[in-house]
Amino acid sequence: MTAGDFDNDELRYNKEIFRKIGIRLKTLRKAKGYTNYEKFANAFDISRSNYGKYERGVVNLTMETLLKILRALDVSLGEFFSEGFD
């Protein structure tokens, strides 16, 4: 395996994790009663455009942002990662 192979594998792995995080965020948001991501983001002072990207799994969110979102969803880190992350 070359360094390039490792980089490509890591990139694919990261994209898959970001996608899973996005799916989980969307599921929890809807369970909280927010059918619209924009209303959720506005209600909790989260950048609306960035939040949409988080749910689509297309950007790397910071731990600080993840914690802010989880507080808004009233979900612990353990609960968040308990489903969908094998």
Instruction: List the CATH number of the domain containing 28.
Output: 1.10.260.40
Query: What are the angstrom distances between the C-alpha of 10 and each of 17, 49, 53, 66?
Result: 10, 26, 20, 21
Q: How far is residue 50's CA from residue 45's CA, in Å, rounded to a whole number? A: 11
Enclosing domain of residue 44: 3-80
Residue 70 within any structural domain of the chain: yes
- Does 85 map to a domain? no
Inside any domain, residue 86? no
Averaged pLDDT of the chain: 93
Quick one: pLDDT at residue 6? 66
Does residue 44 form part of some domain?
A: yes
Predicted TM-score (pTM) of this structure? 0.88
Q: How many domains does the chain have?
A: 1
Cα gap 70→39, rounded to integer Å: 16
